[in-house]
Homo-oligomer: A and B are copies of this chain.
Amino acid sequence: MLENFESVSRSIADSTRVRILKMLEPGELCVCQITAILGLAPATVSKHLSLLRMAGLLSHRKQGRWVFYRLSSHDNNPYAPPVLDLMRNILGDDPVIAEDRTRLDKINTVPLEDLCGDGRHIFTEKLHSKSGSQATA
């Protein structure tokens, strides 16, 4: 009960995890895509994703070497759905969230192989450069 609610509320009490939840609204993403958008170390991102999954907010599936995460449709935690519903209706106009969305759009124009492969660092750098918002990668 209170324990389940706490795992959800603690999950959304961190801005990085809120960013993850918001960037997954349009659909599932690979870990390397999420990592590129956030600009954090893979280990850090993995830990956040694991925590969100444990709280019942995310589901994941493996496809080859890639792992895709999506907003959960499970019933593990009864408090997850109402919280996800609430989040869907807010923060769309927040600057940080909006910038993430811009990066997401840019990332969707690049094949996963390119993003996660050799060109990874170069692309991620462009994604987070000062002129990143209007650069065309």
A→B interface (CB under 8 Å) = 1-2, 5-6, 9-10, 12-15, 18, 79, 82-83, 86, 89-91, 93-97
Considering the chains assembled together, what is the distance between the CA atoms of A97 and B3 in angstroms? Answer: 12
Q: Which partner residue on chain B sits nearest A19 by CB separation?
A: B2
Report whether B9 and A12 are in contact in the complex, using a CB–CB cutoff of 8 Å.
yes
In the complex, what's the smallest C-beta–C-beta distance from A70 to chain B, in angstroms? 21
Q: What residues on B are CB-neighbors of A14 within 8 Å?
A: 6
Q: Which of B18, B79, B95, B96 contacts A90 (CB 8 A)?
A: B79
A5 to B45, CA, bound (A): 21
Supplied contacts A1-B94, A1-B95, 12 more A-B pairs, CB within 8 Å: A1-B91, A1-B93, A2-B96, A2-B97, A5-B18, A5-B90, A5-B91, A6-B13, A6-B14, A9-B13, A82-B90, A83-B86
